[in-house]
Structure 1
Amino acid sequence: MSKRSYQGCWTCKRRRRRCDKTRPTCQNCTRIDVNCEGYELRLRWGNGIASRGRFTGADKPLDERVPPRPRGRRRDLSKERKKIEAQAQHNVDFPDMAPNLGGASSPGTERARHDEMLFNECEPLFRAERLPFTNVQYKLVLKNGINVLHSTTARESMLQPRLPQLCQESSALYTICLAFQLSLSETQTARFFEYFDSALREFRSELARSSTLSNATLTAGILLCSIGLVHGLPWTMHLEGMHNILQSHGFEDTLRMATSSEFRSHLLEVMGIMDLPCFSVGRQTPCIGIWRRYCQFVTLRYGIEPVSGLPRTLVDLFAGIGQNTTEQSFWDWPGETGNFLQCYLWEAHRLAGILSLRRHNRAMEQLNFSNWRQPNACPANATVLVSRILANLDALRLACAERPTEDTFIRNAVLFPMFVAGLEVSVLKENPQLQTTIRKCAESSHQTDILLGLLQEMWDRNDPVLDVNDLAREKGVEMGLL
C-alpha cells in the first residue's frame, strides 16, 4: 500500500499516493490523466488572518497581533467547557437527534437545520404496505437513503427503526449518515467530501476509544465502508480496524453477543459480506475471513441475506473460495425457493462464482503454488458461462421493467455477476454484442460508471496478464461489487 505524500503535489496528497515531486506537474497525475494541482502553499482562513499556525486568531500577520494562548490545564478546561455548553444548547434545539455530536453542527444555525433534514432523508420512504406507487415515485425511492443498502424488498428494515437510537449512542454514526445521504446526490460533491472528512475523523476517534464494539459504532463503521465501496475510496481498512477490536475482546464474547441479538448477528453478516474478496476490486488489505469465522457459526444457514440479496447457502460457497469450494460446488448448488426475479439473480451469481473461482485458481498458479489443484471442474467453458450469466441479467432487467413493484431493490445486486462476466476479455472481444448487454444491465450510478470504466480499459488493452485489481490500485480506486 502506497504511503501518503506530505511534500508532493496537492492531488497526490488528496489521493494519499506517493508523489514523485516532478515540477510543474508530477508524473503520477500525467500518467492517469488528471489535473495536477501543483505545489503552491495554501492557507485556510478562519476568524482572523489564519485558522492554524503561528498567526491563528491574529487580525494582521504580525507577531504583536497574535492573541495570547492559554497554556496547559487552563486551555483544556476552556475547551471542555465550550464543548459542554455547545452540547447542552444542541440538546435543547434538537432533542430527538444524537446528543453527542460535539462540533458536528453549530446549534441554532442553518447548518444544524440542514443536518436534521439530511438525517431525516436517510430514513427510507418505502413501506411494503404503501402501495401502489407510480414508476416515477419508485425511482425516487430507490435513490433515497437506506434503501440503496439492500438488495431485497423486506417489510421491515432492521436498521431503519433503530437508527435514531443508535445515533443517540454514536456521534460518528450521525455524521456518517449525513455524509451517506450527500453521497447519493449528484450536485453536492463538495459538501459530501466536507462531511465525509468529518465523519472519518469522528469514527476513527470513536474507534480508538472503544474497548468493545457497540452496535452503534459497528453500524457507523459499516456505513462508512458503504460510502467507500460506492465511491472508490479506501474502505477495507475500516473493516480491519473493527475486526481488530472484536478480536481483542475475544471471539467467545463476540459470538455470544451475536447469538443473543438478532441485530448484532445482522451486523456481523454485513461485515462478512463486505469482507469477501470476490466482492471487491482493488482491495488494499487482506481478507479477514469474517463470514467463515463468525457468521457460519452464529446465524441460520437458510434464508436470504438482505444486503447481498443472496441465500446464505450460496454465500457460504463464495466464502469458501480458496478453501473448500470447488467449481462442482457451484455447479451442484440446488438453489432455494424464491420469486422469478430472485431465481434470475441467483443463477447469475452461481455461474459467476465459477468464473471467479477460475480467476482465483489462475492467480494461484501464477504465484507458483505447485501443490495448488482444483478438482471437480464443471464442464461449461467461459463462453457458455458468460452467455448464461448475461442472459439471466438481461431477463432480470426486462422482468423488473415489466413488474416494477415486485422486488424493488433487487437490481442493486447485479454488479458482481455483471463485472465478473465483463472480465472475460477474450470472450467479449469475440462477441462484441455482449459488451452492449453489459452496459444495458448496469444501473446508472457513480459506482457503476467507475466499474464500467475499468472494464472498458480491460477490453481496450486486451492484455491477458493484466489483473483488474492491479489496474484499480494504479488508479487509486478501491471498489465494492455490492
Structure 2
Amino acid sequence: MSTRSYQGCWTCKRRRRRCDNTRPTCQGCARRGVECEGYEVRLRWGSGIASRGRYTGADKPLEESVPPRPKGRQRDLIREKMRLEPQGQIPVKLDVMSPEFGEPVCLKTAREEEEEVIFNEFLKNGINVLHSTTARESMLQPRLPQLREESDALYTICLTFQLSLSNHHSSQFLEYFDTSLRKFRSELARSTSLLDGTLTAGLLLCSIGLMHGLPWTMHLEGMHNILQSHGLSDGASDSGTSTFRSHLLEVMGVMDLPCFSIGRQTHPSSIGRQSSCIGIWRRYCQSATPRRGVEPVSGLPRTLLDIFAGIGIDTTEQHFWDWAGEPGSFLQCYLWEAHRLAGILSLRRHLRSVRNKDDHEICDLSTRQEPNSCADATVLVTRIMANMDALRLACTERPTEDAFIKNAVLFPIFVAGLEITVLAENPQCQKAIRTCTFGSRQDEILLSLLEEMWRRNDPDLNVDDLARERGLEMGLL
C-alpha cells in the first residue's frame, strides 16, 4: 500500500505514491509513463489573499506581509465587534493590506457604505427634483466633485436632501438635517468669500426648508450678506462672473421672489423694506435689455420672471396681459400661460393686502395699479385649471417628452386655490386641484393650507398668517 509522500515530486504527492526522489525526474513517473512535475517550490496563492494559517490576510507569502493579530482575547474582540456593529462603526474589513505600503488599511464602515448608496440615489433621481426643465446636461451634477472640495457641508446636505424626499420625517432625516444645519452655519461663519460650493450647499438647504415648511430664508439672508460684503454689485452679472455662479444667483433670485413663498418670516436685516424680500432678482439678475431663455429651476422664461419680480414695485396687470411669450414646447406653453394668469391673481391678492394697511403712500400706489382687464377671478381660475389639466393629461400621454415640467405646477395651482369665493361656488375646481397634485410632502402641506382656507371660507383670511400660525415657511417651487 502506497503512503503519502512529503518530500517527493509534485506528481507523486498529488497521486499519493512513494517517490524515489531521483532528480531531475523520479523513476516511478518514468516507469508509469507520466510526466514528472519536478521538485521546485510553489507559492500556491499567487497575488490572492491567504484565508488560513499564519499567512491569513497576506497577499504574498513573506514574513513582513503577515498582518499583526489584534491584541486581546478572542472572546473580548468578538464582544467589542458586537457592541460596535449596531452603531455602524464596525469596519467592513479590518485586515486588508495596502498594496503600496504593506500596511493594514481600514475600509468604509457600514454607515459610510449606506451614505454612498443614498448619495448615488441623489445623483440618479433626487437631483432631478431641483429643476423644472429637461436639460440635456445638469449644471450641478458634473460640478459636484469640485464643489465638494470647496464645501465640507455639501455632501451631508445632499444626503439630507435625498432623505427629505420621503413623505414623512424619519429619525434619520432629522438627524442628518441637524448635522447639515450645524455644518453649514459653521462653514458660513468661517467664509471670507462665498465659494460656489458653500453657495450650492446653502441653496440645497433652502430647498429642503421650502419643501418641508422648515425655516429657510435666514440662510438666503446670510449668503446675501456675505456676497454683499465682498463686492456683489447691483445690476446683471458681470462679464467676469462664471456661468455657474450666474446660475446660482438666479436660483437665489427666484427663491427670493415674494409670490413664490408662503409664511415667509421677517428677519432683522429686512427692516426698512416693504416686505421680507431682498430683491435679488431685480438687483443682480435682471438686465437693462431683456434676456431670453428659460430659468431651469422655475421652468419659466426670464422675461416672465422679470414681471413677477416687479410685483409690489412697478408691475401692473397690463404687464402680464402684454407679455408676448417665448418659443417653447406645447407643455411649456400650458405651464407659462397658467403662470401668467396666476401672476395676475397674485398681483390682485397683493393689492388687497396693501389696502388693508394704514400706509397712505402704499394705498396710493395700489390705486394706480387698478386692474385694466374685465377678466374676473372666476374666468382666471377656470383658465388656469384648464391649462393645468391639459398639462397633466399631456404628461400622462407623453411621459418622456418633458419629464421634469411637473415640478413647476405648484404655484399656479396654489394661487388658483386661494380664490376661496370662486372655489366655494365651483366644487369641481377643488376636485381638480386635488387631482393635479403629485403626493409629495410639499403637496400635502400646501393642500392642507388650502383645505383650511376653504373650510373657513373667510375672504379676509391671509394664507401667510395661517402658515405662520402653524410655524410653516413654505415655497411654491
User: Which stretch of structure 1 is more off in the superposition, 277-286 or 348-357?
Assistant: 277-286
Report the counterpart of residue 316 of structure 1 in structure 2: 306
Gaps of 5+ in 2: 1-93, 99-105, 267-275
2:333 corresponds to 1:343? yes
Rounded to whole Å, the distance in 1 between the matches of 2:309 and 2:107 is: 46
Deviation for aligned residue 1:258 = 7.1
2:199–2:223 Cα contact (<8 Å) kept: yes
Report matched runs for 1:232-247 at 5 Å.
232-247=213-228
| Partner Cα separation in structure 2 for residue 281 and residue 260 of structure 1 | 31
Alignment correspondent of 1:365: 355
How far residue 174 of structure 1 moved from its aligned partner, in angstroms, is 0.9
Which string of whole-angstrom CA distances, capped at 9 and with x for unpartnered residues, describes residues 395-421 of structure 1? 100011011111000011000000000
Residues 257 and 264, structure 1, Cα contact 8 Å, conserved in 2: no
Per-residue deviation, 1:377 = 2.4
2:433 alignment partner, one of 417, 438, 451: 438
Contact 2:211 2:474 in 1 (8 A): yes
Tell me if 1:385 matches 2:385: no
Q: Which moved more, 1:302-311 or 1:165-174?
A: 165-174
Moved more, 374-383 or 221-230: 374-383
Query: Is contact 1:258–1:265 with CA below 8 Å preserved after alignment?
Result: no
Of 464-473 and 376-385, deviating more is: 376-385
TM-score, with length taken from structure 1? 0.72
* Aligned ranges 1:147-166 → 2 under 5 Å: 147-166=128-147
Matched, 1:304 2:297: no
Q: Deviations over 1:84-116 (max 9, x none)?
A: xxxxx9xx99xxxxxxxxxxxx97321111112
Residue number in structure 2 paired with 1:474: 469
| RMSD, aligned α-carbons | 2.1
Identity of aligned residues (%): 70
Query: How far is 1:154 from its partner?
Result: 0.4
Letter matched to residue 306 of structure 1: P
With the length of structure 2 as denominator, give the TM-score of the two structures: 0.73
User: Counterpart of 2:429 in structure 1: which amino acid?
Assistant: L
| 3-state SS in 2 of match to 1:252 | coil
What residue is the counterpart of 2:407 in the other structure? 412
1:153-192 equivalence runs, <5 A: 153-186=134-167, 189-192=170-173
Distance 1:259 1:422 in 2: 43
For 2:172 and 2:372, the matched residues in 1 are separated by: 50
Between the aligned partners of 1:321 and 1:362, the Cα distance in structure 2 is 13
Alignment partner of 1:229 out of 189, 210, 233: 210
Q: Report the Cα offset of residue 253 of structure 1.
A: 9.8
Match of 2:398 in 1: 403
CA contact (8 A) 2:167 2:440 kept: no
d(CA) in 2 for partners of 1:198 and 1:268?
25
For residues 438 and 290 of structure 1, the distance between their equivalents in structure 2, rounded to whole angstroms, comes to 31
Give the unaligned 5+ runs of structure 1.
Answer: 1-88, 94-105, 125-143
Residue pair 2:263, 2:472 contacting (<8 A) in 1 also: yes
Q: Which amino acid aligns with 1:357?
A: L
Name which of 296, 312, 317 aligns with 1:327: 317
Name the count of aligned residue pairs.
361
Once the two structures are superposed, residues 109-142 of structure 1 have per-residue CA deviations (whole angstroms, 9 ceiling, x without a partner) of: 2111111221222213xxxxxxxxxxxxxxxxxx
Q: Is the 8 A contact 1:258 1:264 kept in 2?
A: no
User: SS at 1:198's partner residue?
Assistant: helix
Question: Quick one: distance in 1 between partners of 2:299 and 2:289?
Answer: 16
CA distance in 2, matches of 1:318, 1:117: 40
Match of 1:270 in 2: 251
Residue in 2 aligned with 1:354?
Answer: 344
